């Protein structure tokens, strides 16, 4: 599996305790934000989230208006592989 630097960063952030959330607004706009344990939320590109979801590395509770994402078993295995490479 080939991951971009941004995808790796996001997986590692989630595994480190940050929360990835999607916020949907009444006008249909959807915003992805990474909420670290300390500091302000950071915008995340939708393509990064879609790629990780499509590869089965993350999933969400699909709640409206704000969904929370987590690592799947496959995502946890990818994080473990990244840790071995470091």
Q: Tens-of-pLDDT digits for all 86 residues of the chain?
A: 799 999 999 999 999 999 999 999 889 899 999 999 999 999 999 999 999 999 999 999 998 889 999 999 999 999 999 988 87
Q: Provide long-range contacts, Cβ within 8 A and 24+ apart, for 33-41.
A: 34/10
In a domain, 84, yes or no: no
Residue 74 confidence (pLDDT):
98
Residue 16 confidence (pLDDT):
96
In a domain, 25, yes or no: yes
Q: Assess contact for 42 and 34: CB atoms under 8 A.
A: yes
In a domain, 74, yes or no: yes
Residue 28 confidence (pLDDT):
86
What's the CA gap between 11 and 78, in Å, rounded?
Answer: 8
Residue 64 confidence (pLDDT):
84
Number of domains in the chain: 1
Q: Assess contact for 12 and 76: CB atoms under 8 A.
A: no
In a domain, 86, yes or no: no
Q: What CATH number did the domain enclosing 23 receive?
A: 1.10.10
């Amino acid at each position: 599996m080939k991951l971009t630097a941004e995808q790796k960063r996001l997986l590692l952030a989630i595994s480190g305790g940050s929360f990835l959330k999607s916020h949907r607004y009444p006008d249909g706009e959807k915003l992805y934000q990474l909420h670290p344990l300390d500091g302000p939320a950071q915008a995340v590109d939708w393509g990064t989230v879609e790629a990780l979801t499509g590869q089965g590395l993350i999933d969400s509770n699909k709640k409206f208006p704000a969904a929370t994402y987590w690592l799947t078993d496959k995502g946890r295995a990818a994080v473990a592989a990244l840790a071995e490479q470091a």
